[in-house]
Each structure stands twice: as structure tokens, then as C-alpha cells.
């Protein structure tokens, strides 16, 4: 025997009567959802009252599980499609802008969905950009685009590559700092006290590793 209650925040809660159970118990499952087991003789109303007392605990447990399982949760196809639309609208335009400003020419740009790289540049000068880029702060979006553009001149991650990229990053960040972009300001101030020869590149690539892809 069971009854389903709908909670505005929790969703459906299944109340099940079980012979042999001696007390009311609440279970929060990351996939199956929330269920309440009730001893056979306890009325549903009493179990519901008990559940209301424990509602905050249920919400906290759900939030903890969501945090814990977010890495393994499959990407929501609708969310991915909306990202793809946004990426197709924004990224090719921005790439063309940056290429024009810094004198690069590429062949084609494509928007891809994968979890292995933010972008890539082929031997045929085609640039692939991950649709997850649009979830990043703009200054980091540019970092990826500039990184791929630099590969048009340097096919590796050698010294010359990093020198060129650093030059472009240092120029490009000025635009963001002028707009009062807090993240750009932080990168700039941290880079000025760094001894590295490519401080912006290092800081930005470090920041990027903190972001997850869908
Ligand atoms: Zn690269």
C-alpha cells in the first residue's frame, strides 16, 4: 500500500506501509527520490506530520547528494542543446573578431560537444570549440579562443607558443579591465607579482581547470 504526496521543493514523496516495520523511516535516494516507510498500523496523516518535521533534513540531504553526484550525472540533453545554440551564435563571431584584431586567418570553425578538450586546432587550420565555453566567464572564453588561434602559428605548446599567447592575453585583458571586470582585474594583479614568463596564461589555465564540462 502506498500514497504519493507532492512537495513543492522535494517533488513526489512516496509513503509506503510495511508489515513488520516498527517505526517511520525516511529514505533519500539520489535517483529513486524520497520515500517514507510506515508501520502498518500508523495512519498516513501521522507519517505526514513526522515527514514535515524532518523536511529540512530531507532538503539538506538532497542538496548534499546533488553536490556529490554532479560529476557523474549525465548531461541534460535539453541543456546541451541550449548551450549549443548559444555557442553557435556567440563563439564564431568572437573568434572572427579576435582573429581580425591579431591578424590570424583560419579555415573553418565548428562547435563540438565533448568532455576531453575545450578547443582544438587542426593541421588544416580548422578550429573546434567546445560548447561548454559559453558557460565560462568571458575573459576565460577569450583565453581559449586565443590559445587556439596561437596554434595556427605554433602547432605545439612550446616556448614560442606561450610567448605569443601571453602577449595577446596581456593586450586583450586591458579591454576587460577597462570595463571593470573583477576577474580580469584579479588575473592582472596576480600576474604582476608572478615570476613566471607567462603569468596570465598560467593563471587562466589554472582557473580553467576548476570548471567542469557538461
Ligand atoms: Zn593547445
* Distance (Å) from CA 19 to ligand 1 centroid: 62
159 shares its domain with 185: yes
* Distance (Å) from CA 150 to ligand 1 centroid: 8
* Distance (Å) from CA 166 to ligand 1 centroid: 13
Looking only at the bridges linking them, the beta strands covering 127-130 and 109-112 are: parallel
40 shares its domain with 115: no
What would the pLDDT profile of 65-98 be if each residue is shown by its tens digit? 887 766 656 678 899 999 999 999 999 999 999 9
Residue range(s) defining the domain that contains residue 44: 2-69
Q: Tell me the pLDDT of the chain averaged across its residues.
A: 93
Give pLDDT, residue 75: 77
Give pLDDT, residue 70: 65
101 shares its domain with 65: no
Q: How many domains does the chain have?
A: 2
Task: Judge contact between 156 and 108, C-beta under 8 A.
Answer: no
Does the structure show a pLDDT above 70 at 195? yes
* Distance (Å) from CA 151 to ligand 1 centroid: 7
**Which one of 41, 69, 97 terminates a domain?**
69
- Determine how many CB atoms are found less than 10 A away from the CB of residue 25: 14
Record the cell numbers describing residue 53, joined without a space: 518535521
Give pLDDT, residue 137: 96
Specify if 214 maps to a domain. Answer: no
Record the cell numbers describing residue 68, joined without a space: 556529490
Record the cell numbers describing residue 210, joined without a space: 576548476
- Residue 212: band (very low, low, confident or very high) from pLDDT cuts 50, 70, 90: confident
Q: How many residues in the chain? A: 214
49 shares its domain with 86: no
155 shares its domain with 62: no
58 shares its domain with 89: no
pTM: 0.67
Does the structure show a pLDDT above 80 at 214? yes
82 shares its domain with 64: no
- Determine how many CB atoms are found less than 10 A away from the CB of residue 75: 13
* Distance (Å) from CA 61 to ligand 1 centroid: 40
Specify if 145 maps to a domain. Answer: yes
116 shares its domain with 154: yes
Specify if 17 maps to a domain. Answer: yes
Specify if 112 maps to a domain. Answer: yes
Record the cell numbers describing residue 202, joined without a space: 598560467
Q: Which residue in the block uniquely carries the three cell numbers 558557460?
A: 135
Tell me what percent of the residues of the chain surpass a pLDDT of 70.
Answer: 97
Give pLDDT, residue 73: 61
Task: Judge contact between 177 and 184, C-beta under 8 A.
Answer: yes
Specify if 118 maps to a domain. Answer: yes
Please report, for the domain that includes residue 149, its CATH number. Answer: 3.30.2010.10
* Distance (Å) from CA 195 to ligand 1 centroid: 22
- Determine how many CB atoms are found less than 10 A away from the CB of residue 196: 12
* Distance (Å) from CA 156 to ligand 1 centroid: 7
Give pLDDT, residue 7: 87
**Which residues does 206 contact at the CB level (< 8 Å), separation at least 6?**
none
User: Going along the chain, which residue ranges are E strands?
Assistant: 2-7, 11-18, 25-29, 33-39, 109-112, 119-121, 127-130
**Which one of 35, 69, 103 terminates a domain?**
69
Give pLDDT, residue 13: 92
* Distance (Å) from CA 113 to ligand 1 centroid: 17
* Distance (Å) from CA 138 to ligand 1 centroid: 19
Give pLDDT, residue 31: 74
R_g over Cα of the chain: 25
- Determine how many CB atoms are found less than 10 A away from the CB of residue 78: 8
For residues 124 and 30, the model is more confident at 124
18 shares its domain with 117: no
Specify if 213 maps to a domain. Answer: no
* Distance (Å) from CA 22 to ligand 1 centroid: 61
Listed range (11-20, 132-141, 158-167, 198-207) with the worst mean pLDDT: 11-20
* Distance (Å) from CA 197 to ligand 1 centroid: 17
Tell me what percent of the residues of the chain surpass a pLDDT of 90.
Answer: 78
Specify if 91 maps to a domain. Answer: yes
For residues 42 and 115, the model is more confident at 42
62 shares its domain with 149: no
62 shares its domain with 84: no
Record the cell numbers describing residue 152, joined without a space: 595556427
d(CA 120, CA 131): 12
50 shares its domain with 135: no
With CA atoms as reference, report the closest residue to 121 among 101, 139, 104: 104
Amino acid at each position: 500500500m502506498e500514497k504519493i504526496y507532492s512537495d513543492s521543493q522535494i517533488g513526489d514523496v512516496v509513503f509506503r506501509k510495511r508489515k513488520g516495520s516498527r517505526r517511520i523511516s525516511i529514505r533519500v535516494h539520489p535517483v529513486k527520490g524520497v520515500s517514507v516507510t510506515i508501520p502498518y498500523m500508523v495512519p498516513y496523516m501521522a507519517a505526514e506530520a513526522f515527514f514535515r518535521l524532518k523536511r529540512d533534513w530531507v532538503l539538506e540531504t538532497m542538496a548534499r547528494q546533488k553536490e556529490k553526484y554532479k560529476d557523474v550525472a549525465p548531461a541534460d540533453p535539453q541543456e546541451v542543446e541550449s548551450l549549443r545554440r548559444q555557442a553557435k551564435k556567440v563563439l564564431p563571431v568572437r573568434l572572427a573578431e579576435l582573429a581580425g584584431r591579431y591578424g590570424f586567418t583560419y579555415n573553418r570553425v565548428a562547435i563540438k560537444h565533448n568532455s576531453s578538450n575545450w578547443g582544438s586546432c587542426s593541421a588544416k587550420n580548422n578550429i573546434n570549440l567546445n560548447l561548454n565555453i559559453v558557460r565560462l566567464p568571458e575573459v576565460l572564453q577569450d583565453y581559449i579562443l586565443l590559445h587556439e588561434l596561437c596554434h595556427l602559428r605554433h602547432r605545439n605548446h612550446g616556448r614560442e607558443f606561450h610567448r605569443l599567447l601571453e602577449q595577446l592575453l596581456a593586450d586583450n585583458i586591458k579591454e576587460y579591465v577597462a570595463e571593470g571586470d573583477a576577474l580580469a582585474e584579479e588575473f592582472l594583479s596576480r600576474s604582476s607579482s608572478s615570476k613566471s614568463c607567462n603569468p596570465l596564461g598560467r593563471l587562466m589555465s589554472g582557473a580553467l581547470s576548476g570548471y567542469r564540462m557538461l
